[in-house]
């Protein structure tokens, strides 16, 4: 990810990428299931697309001057909403990355044992 999101600074930058929560149930890759290469390609594409969405949203304007006519709480509400959306996108990216890494590890392990 190129962009770093800092909600406190209001700069549209994401500072940390916390490890994905332990809610990722990864598939068992076997002969009767989806191939590791297919899984790797699909989840790599998903991961890259989500990272691009994070970068695009972080770069999109969200400035206090656009909210002050609405009153004192509008800007902080808009920032809180943006921060939550960024958190959810990061969670989706971490999810796709976990699947991508799992499939890649399977491909590497298969290559080593061949």
CB atoms within 10 A of CB 93: 22
Task: Match 């068992």 to its residue by tokens.
Answer: 28
Give pLDDT tens digits for 33-66: 999 999 999 999 999 999 999 999 999 999 999 9
Average pLDDT, the chain: 84
Residues 6 or more apart from 29 whose CB is under 8 A from it? 35, 36, 39, 102, 103, 106
Instruction: Tell whether the model's pLDDT for residue 8 goes beyond 80.
Output: no
Distance separating alpha carbons of residues 69 and 99, to the nearest angstrom: 45
Give pLDDT tens digits for 16-28: 344 554 567 899 9
Task: Match 């697309």 to its residue by tokens.
Answer: 49
Distance separating alpha carbons of residues 75 and 86, to the nearest angstrom: 16
């Amino acid at each position: 990810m190129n962009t770093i999101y800092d909600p406190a600074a209001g700069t549209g930058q994401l500072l940390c990428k916390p490890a994905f929560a332990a809610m990722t149930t990864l598939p068992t890759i076997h002969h009767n299931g989806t191939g590791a290469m297919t899984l790797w390609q699909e989840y790599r594409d998903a991961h890259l697309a989500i990272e691009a969405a994070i970068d695009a949203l972080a770069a999109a304007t969200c400035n206090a001057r656009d909210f002050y006519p609405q009153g004192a709480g509008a800007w902080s509400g808009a920032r809180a909403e943006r921060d939550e959306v960024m958190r959810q996108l990061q969670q989706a990216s971490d999810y796709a990355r976990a699947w991508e890494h799992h499939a890649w590890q399977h491909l590497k392990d298969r290559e080593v044992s061949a």
